[in-house]
Amino acid sequence: MYGTVHGGWRTTPRRAAVLDALHACDGFVSAQTLHTALVTDGVGVGLSTVYRTLRLLEAAGHVDVVRDSDGERLYRPRPDDGHRHYLVCRECGFSLAVESGEVEQWVARITRDIGFHSVDHTVELSGVCDGCRPGPVDR
């Protein structure tokens, strides 16, 4: 429903269109790629609206964010059970969620020991996937 506040952001038709388009994408996507998909589908939304909406979705905890090899932010809908950490191929953009229990425990311990609250964190892992790596795989 438009005008309803969801997790700190007010739903509007354009914001709903951005979120729908994001859910329709496969994997992480840039704001510019998302904007192009919206325009191609006939949705009248400006690039600045896409950027603002993605920032709102990030602040409300609705998207996971990684950076590509050029430093551009890429977005993906966050699963209902919380954020993930991803290993992202620097060549093709393939991403894979990785087990991060140890990271979460470390963050909880550090923030508790130091006395911080409501801490957000990002762990970015990048490499080259088997499909993009020439030659034999070194494991």
Give the Cα separation of 33 and 20 in Å (integer).
Answer: 14
The confidence score (pLDDT) of residue 9 equals 66
pLDDT band at 8 (very low <50, low <70, confident <90, very high): low
Which H or E run contains 114? helix 101-114
How do residues 20-34 score in pLDDT, each as one tens digit? 999 998 888 999 999
How do residues 58-86 score in pLDDT, each as one tens digit? 888 888 888 887 888 999 898 877 777 88
Name the token pair of 22: 């994001």
Beta bridge partners of 63: 77
49: nearest Cα among 60, 61, 35 = 35
Q: Is the pTM of this model over 0.85?
A: no
Give the Cα separation of 109 and 84 in Å (integer).
Answer: 18
